[in-house]
Amino acid sequence: MYHDLTLRDGSHAIRHKLSTETIEKYCTFAEDAGIEVVEVGHGNGLGASSLLIGESMHSDYEMLRVARKHLKRTKLSVHIIPGVATISKDIDPAVDIGVDIFRVASHCSEATLTKSHIEYLHSKGKYVIGVLMMASRCSVETLLEEATKMKTYGASAIVIMDSTGSFMPCDVYERIQSLKTLEVPIGFHGHNNMHLAVANSLAAIDAGATIIDVTLKGFGAGAGNTPLEVMEILKPSGLDIQKIIQYHEVFEYTSPVCKPVNLLTAKHNLFSGFEKHILEASTKYSVPVTQLTNEIKHLVAGQEDLIQVIAQFLSTLQTP
């Protein structure tokens, strides 16, 4: 099954400025094309709109209400990062709106942070997917241990995210094979920093993954995601490819381009969404992108403000 994240991961590409008009048009298209799941919201999920990460054009609830109105057969999904999204302020209203799938995410080695959110949603009878982000930053064994925790909390499926676009197909195959021992649906989320998003998604399917995250035109953070249209041609899932191609032609946003900064974030296992923050800080403080990416390789998503701090510090070390 292809989970379409165009209206969530794609938000990164436009600084989270998705309009309700775009959401309405896309959800109408998704229904017509037979897409099974569409994820909607700020690039970093529920509750993430902020000056630090980026402010959305509309609130979570405005976006979800528009999507819910236009999605009948297609399921509505949201992304949740505990610590960013809270149960009472963010999750309960999403439940009331009628969100179908809740994808609760953590750094690949910090699944314990998802416990309260997954258990709460499970107690409400909701379909919960545990998501392990930045999966290239830990071993196969650690991924399995953390995914097992999510399953015990009540997750009905597990998705691993190559948030840095660093994996090779053999890496993906090995990890999906390992996670299959959990006997729940396993999924993969690819980024195209090394031009391997499609190859990695195909490797995931070959290893037994039944959930593949995609976006139209690969529209997403950094160098973008696995393109929906390519996957549906290579591995048909029963979608209306004619309608997908037709909408591809009129979709208002262009396909992401892989730039040197994307290659460097992949090399250093950095979150793909750092791209714009790195380029801005590099320009502002006249620090080479190669130097800056090397110095911030310990940062994870949510620490975007530190990129500016580190770039400013590096600028003070430069010889006059």
Catalytic option among 3, 12, 42, 70: 12
DSSP 198-259: HHHHHHHHHHT--EEEEBGGG-SSTT-B-BHHHHHHHS--S--HHHHHHHHHH-SSPPP---
User: Is 12 considered catalytic here?
Assistant: yes
Q: What 3-state DSSP class applies to 108?
A: coil
* Cβ 229 vs Cβ 244: under 8 Å: yes
Burial 65-93 (b: 16+ CB within 10 A, else e): bbbbebbeebbbbbbbbbebbeeeebbeb
Instruction: Report the DSSP beta bridge partners of residue 213.
Output: 3
Distance, in Å, from the CA atom of 170 to the CA atom of 172, rounded to the nearest integer, reads 5
Burial classification of residue 257, based on how many CB atoms lie within 10 Å of its CB (0-12 exposed, 13-18 middle, 19 or more buried): exposed
Question: What is the Cα–Cα distance from 219 to 306, expressed in whole angstroms?
Answer: 26
Beta bridge partners of 103: 79, 129
Three-state secondary structure call for residue 23: helix
**Residues assigned a catalytic role:** 12
